[in-house]
């Protein structure tokens, strides 16, 4: 599988992330050690898959919870598979661990992209170890001729307060360090149009907007600015399903009927709107 085959006619991407089941379960208040809760999570994932996976969207699955969804649909234009372990919370200081008995070879056997999520700070103690891990995975992906999607999340160290100029500088430095190792990058919004353009100027590979931690209206506006300044698409995950935690029954268990209705209407409409915004970047044919 080669990168051009993953792009729409306008060379822009929309990526649907269905590889965060432990985090989704945590939001829904589900203890996954109980088999009944696993069944509830499977229902929610099935609904998300049925309503949101589209022929013009790259869909990200994981081998533990959502890979089985492939049996129910085969019309995807492209598939990505997660490499790093799934947990409700992430330790940004830790070097990512790969999912046991799973790796680049299994991703290649399923004709998919490999997705790695990396929390990173250029000055952190584990910076070298993290870069070595990405380099090793990138070499193996290149050997097996599959693209690597690196979701690069720049974190603020616990002892520091967030400062925009520092964040932008750290993000730019990280992009310079990893730009030769992936076929495309997913990046946080750098908060300014000029900073988006600067990222674009540093890259000869596509970068996508990572919308985690952003509400829907804010994410939509950030997407427009990012696309206008060189981004080539977006990753849609938490942005879509973060509201599902609001739908509870009196005993605080998930209200599956309300959740399913919300996915069929609001969440589906959001995907269609965000996909339309990305497609609007397509140049008019002459």
Residue pair 220/274 in contact (Cβ under 8 Å)? The answer is yes
Cα gap 22→37, rounded to integer Å = 11
The CATH architecture that domain 3-279 belongs to is: Alpha-Beta Barrel (3.20)
* Other residues' Cβ atoms within 10 Å of the Cβ of residue 246: 11
Residue with tokens 């750290």: 170
In this prediction, residue 168 carries a pLDDT of 97
Give the distance, in angstroms, between the CA of residue 111 and the centroid of all CA atoms in the same chain. Answer: 18
* Other residues' Cβ atoms within 10 Å of the Cβ of residue 153: 19
In this prediction, residue 285 carries a pLDDT of 43
Ramachandran area for residue 216 (φ above 0: left; ψ -120 to 50: alpha; else beta): alpha
Residues 6+ apart with CB under 8 A from 46: 69, 72
Task: At 158, list the tokens.
Answer: 């616990």
In this prediction, residue 51 carries a pLDDT of 87
Residue pair 61/67 in contact (Cβ under 8 Å)? The answer is yes
Cα gap 262→169, rounded to integer Å = 39
CA distances from 283 to 11, 279, 286 (A): 10, 9, 9
Cα gap 211→246, rounded to integer Å = 20
Give buried/exposed letters for 181-201 (b at 16+ CB in 10 A, else e): bbbbbbbbbbeeeebbbbbbe
User: Residue ranges per domain, the chain?
Assistant: 3-279
Cα gap 273→194, rounded to integer Å = 25
Residue pair 134/175 in contact (Cβ under 8 Å)? The answer is no
Largest CA distance in the chain: 59
Tell me if the pTM is above 0.85.
yes
Give SS3 for 119.
strand
Give SS3 for 157.
coil
In this prediction, residue 89 carries a pLDDT of 83
Mean pLDDT by 10 residues, the chain (286 residues): 46 89 90 90 92 82 92 73 90 94 95 95 96 97 95 93 95 96 95 96 94 91 95 91 87 90 92 89 54
């Amino acid at each position: 599988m080669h990168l051009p085959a993953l792009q729409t006619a306008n060379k822009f991407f929309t990526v649907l992330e269905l590889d965060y089941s432990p985090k989704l379960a945590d939001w829904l208040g589900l203890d996954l050690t109980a088999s009944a809760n696993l069944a509830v999570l499977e229902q929610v994932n099935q609904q998300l898959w049925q309503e949101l996976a589209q022929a013009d969207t790259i869909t990200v699955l994981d081998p533990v919870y959502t890979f089985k969804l492939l049996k129910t649909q085969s019309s995807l234009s492209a598939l990505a598979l997660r490499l790093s372990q799934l947990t409700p919370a992430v330790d940004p200081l830790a070097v990512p661990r790969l999912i046991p008995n799973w790796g680049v070879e299994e991703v290649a056997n399923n004709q998919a992209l490999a997705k790695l999520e990396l929390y990173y700070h250029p000055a952190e103690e584990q910076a070298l170890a993290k870069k070595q891990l990405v380099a090793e995975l990138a070499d193996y992906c290149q050997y097996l001729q599959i693209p690597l999607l690196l979701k690069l999340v720049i974190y603020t160290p616990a002892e520091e307060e967030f400062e925009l100029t520092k964040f932008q500088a750290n993000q730019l430095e990280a992009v310079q360090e990893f730009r030769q190792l992936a076929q495309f990058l997913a990046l946080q919004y750098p908060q300014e149009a000029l900073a988006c353009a600067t990222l674009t100027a540093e890259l000869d590979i596509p970068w996508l907007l990572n919308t985690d931690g952003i509400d829907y209206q804010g994410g939509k506006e950030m997407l427009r600015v990012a696309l206008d300044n060189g981004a080539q698409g977006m990753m849609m995950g938490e942005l879509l399903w973060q509201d599902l935690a609001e739908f509870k029954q009196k005993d605080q268990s998930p209200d599956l009927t309300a959740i399913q209705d919300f996915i069929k209407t609001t969440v589906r409409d959001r995907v269609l709107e965000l996909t339309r915004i990305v497609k609007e970047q397509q140049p008019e044919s002459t």
